[in-house]
């Protein structure tokens, strides 16, 4: 069985830690194609406006975050970027404390959201 081809997706390289790539899926079809190319099962997205998943390459140790925004809404993008930012901070050992400023988290979320925003088409 031939492997599914990786879709052409907008990419954001995590600048702070140089440890991961974030890919944006703008449709459920792009999401399913990306999953299949990663040898993952398709998912039931019937009631999903967005989704975020973390993957790690066992050979290289490189992290990848797949962010899906299926409804074209900015609010969904920021929500899913927040998930990806939490994953990234956790993966590099940055603790998020609800009583602290969490500047690392805030700046990374800002950069990720700003980089991916131009790829979201507003209705």
DSSP conformation letters of 38-58 = TTPPP---TT-SEEEEEEE-T
20, 63 Cβ separation under 8 angstroms: yes
Q: What is the pLDDT of residues 60-114, one digit of tens each?
A: 788 999 999 999 999 999 999 999 999 999 999 999 998 899 999 999 999 999 9
Query: Of 21, 19, 12, nearest to 111 (Cα)?
Result: 12
Please indicate, yes or no, whether the overall pTM of this predicted structure exceeds 0.85: yes
Separation between Cα atoms, residue 123 and residue 91, nearest integer Å = 35
Separation between Cα atoms, residue 48 and residue 28, nearest integer Å = 9
């Amino acid at each position: 069985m031939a492997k599914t081809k990786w879709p052409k997706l907008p990419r954001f390289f995590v600048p702070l830690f140089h440890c991961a790539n974030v890919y944006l899926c703008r449709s459920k079809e792009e999401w399913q194609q990306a999953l299949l190319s990663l040898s993952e099962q398709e998912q039931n997205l019937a009631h999903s406006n967005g989704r975020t998943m973390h993957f790690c390459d066992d050979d290289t140790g490189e992290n990848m975050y797949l962010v899906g925004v299926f409804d074209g809404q900015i609010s969904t993008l920021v929500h899913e970027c927040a998930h990806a930012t939490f994953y990234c901070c956790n993966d590099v050992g940055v603790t998020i404390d609800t009583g602290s400023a969490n500047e690392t988290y805030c700046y990374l979320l800002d950069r990720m959201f700003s980089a991916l925003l131009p790829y979201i088409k507003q209705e």
